Amino acid sequence: MLKKWLFIIGGGITFALGTVGIFVPLLPTVPFYLLTAYLWLNSSERLYHYFTKSRYYQIYIKKMLIEKQVTKSSLLKMLIMVFIVLLIPFIIFNSLHVRIILAIVFLAHLVFGYYYFKKK
C-alpha cells in the first residue's frame, strides 16, 4: 500500500518537473515524462488499465509503435512535425555546426523511421 502511494506521488513530482522542463531550457522533459509513465503504470492495476485502455495509448503507442500499423498519412504527419520542431532551432541559431547536427538528426529520423515501420 505504501509502495502504491510512493509511486503515485513520485509520478506526480516527475510529471510536474517534466512540465516545468517545457519552459526551462536546462530541465529535460522527456526523461521526467518517461519516469512518470513508469511510476504511474507500476503504482496500481487500476491506473495501468486506465492508461492502456485510453484512446491516445491505443492510437499512438499500441497501434503505431507496438503493432507497427501506421498509415502513410499519419507517418507523413509525424515526419512533418519532426521537421517543424527541428526547423525552429535551425532558423534561430546561426551556427553551421548546429545546423549540420539538426540536418543529421532529421535524416536519422527518416532512415530509422523507414526501417522501423518497414520491418514487421
Q: Is the pLDDT of residue 51 over 90?
A: no
| pLDDT confidence of residue 120 | 58
Which amino acid is it at 3? K
Residue with cell 517534466: 18
- In this prediction, residue 100 has a pLDDT band, given cuts at 50, 70 and 90, of very high
Q: Looking at the domain assignment, is residue 63 inside a domain?
A: no
Q: Looking at the domain assignment, is residue 58 inside a domain?
A: no
- For the chain, how many structural domains are there in total? 2
User: Each residue of 67-97: pLDDT tens digit?
Assistant: 778 788 888 888 898 899 889 889 998 999 9
User: Each residue of 14-30: pLDDT tens digit?
Assistant: 999 989 988 887 888 88
44, 75: one domain:
no
Q: Looking at the domain assignment, is residue 106 inside a domain?
A: yes
34, 73: one domain:
no
Neighbours of 36 (CB within 10 A): 20
43, 7: one domain:
yes
Residues with Cβ within 8 Å of 64's Cβ and at least 6 positions away in sequence, in order, are 70, 74
Structural domain for 4, as ranges = 1-53
Distance (Å, whole) CA 92 – CA 100: 14
Q: Looking at the domain assignment, is residue 60 inside a domain?
A: no
